Amino acid sequence: MIEIKVEDAREISRRKFLRRLSLWSGAFAASLVAVPFAGALLDPLLRDDTGTWRAVGRADDFVVGSTNMVVFTNTDPKPYGGVVQKTAAWLRREKEDHFIAFSANCTHLGCPVRWEEKAHLFMCPCHGGVYNQEGDVAAGPPPQPLRRYEVRIRAGNVEVKTAPVPLTDLTAAERLCDQSSNT
């Protein structure tokens, strides 16, 4: 018959306890990393990207033929989002009952474009991108026309349908980095 001394039994149970403690601490530490990581991976699948209508002003406040900047909250605001959950568009009242909204972000690398009333052009200050009044590229590096938002009028309010701004031309960003590192 095998005799286990009291000292040995204590040593074994202490080892068991320490092993379990280290396993649980490891699992806890792994969950601290895994939960936010899984959340970031799943977020695009769970997010509602179908857009949200946002009121940007009374229709009567916009003069026919004018192009004005409007600011609104983006598609998927977060409680901690602060000012970065605001986005902007250039809204033009084409006719009494017809509005067009252009994204304020250049399709090259996303800089905010400004409307030049006298020239009837959208100008990008970053790399000289120019768009005509329809938002088509007139000069410079932008690869695509300005994106447009859907617009509707409801109860006298102009509403813009939010949409995520797609990633801009990242290859252009790489080219610019390469150019600046070679100079």
Q: With binding defined as CB under 6 A, does residue 106 bind ligand FES?
A: yes
Contact (CB, 8 A) for 100 and 94 = yes
- Number of residues binding to ligand FES, judged by CB under 6 A: 11
* Partners of residue 98 on adjacent β-strands: 95
Q: With binding defined as CB under 6 A, does residue 135 bind ligand FES?
A: no
- In whole angstroms, the minimum distance from the beta carbon of 183 to ligand FES comes to 18
Q: Which of 129, 137, 146, 149 binds ligand FES (CB under 6 A)?
A: 129
- In whole angstroms, the minimum distance from the beta carbon of 25 to ligand FES comes to 48
Q: Which region, judged by CB under 6 A, interacts with ligand FES, from 25-33, 43-51, 64-72, 106-114?
A: 106-114
Residue placing its CB nearer to ligand FES in the complex, 54 or 168: 168
Q: Which of 50, 89, 96 has the alpha carbon at shortest distance from 71?
A: 89
Residue 44 φ then ψ, to 5°? -60, -30
Residue placing its CB nearer to ligand FES in the complex, 55 or 121: 121
Determine if residue 108 is left, alpha or beta; phi over 0 gives left, psi from -120 to 50 gives alpha, anything else beta.
alpha
Measured between alpha carbons, how far is 74 from 161 in angstroms, rounded to an integer? 9
* Partners of residue 92 on adjacent β-strands: 67, 100
- In whole angstroms, the minimum distance from the beta carbon of 142 to ligand FES comes to 6
Residue placing its CB nearer to ligand FES in the complex, 59 or 176: 176
Neighbours of 160 (CB within 10 A): 24
Q: Which region, judged by CB under 6 A, interacts with ligand FES, from 37-45, 51-59, 119-127, 144-152?
A: 119-127
